[in-house]
Amino acid sequence: MGGMLGESKNDVLKLIPDQLKAKTVFVEHPVTQEHVLELLRQHHFQFPVIFKPDLGERGFMVKRIFNEHGVEAYLKK
């Protein structure tokens, strides 16, 4: 029963020094698969990656994405 129900993860992460947090890229919705893949390349991410919605809801829509097809499927939801 943990988590940050209804709180912006991005706002909370802004309060944490960069050296103490995981590499993160905030993407505003709506977004295309192509844009997300370009951001992942620009920031040197490699699959698998974790996708999370900005607003916390006890793990809802937190998914490990293994490839480009996973990005597409996640964005459709």
Q: How many CB atoms lie within 10 A of CB 44?
A: 7
The model's confidence at residue 10, banded by pLDDT at 50, 70 and 90, is confident
What is the per-residue pLDDT for 9?
A: 80
Q: Which amino acid is at 9?
A: K
User: What whole-number distance in Å separates Cα of residue 29 and Cα of residue 35?
Assistant: 11
| Sequence spans of domains, the chain | 9-76
Question: Distance from CA of residue 39 to its chain's centroid?
Answer: 11
pTM: 0.77
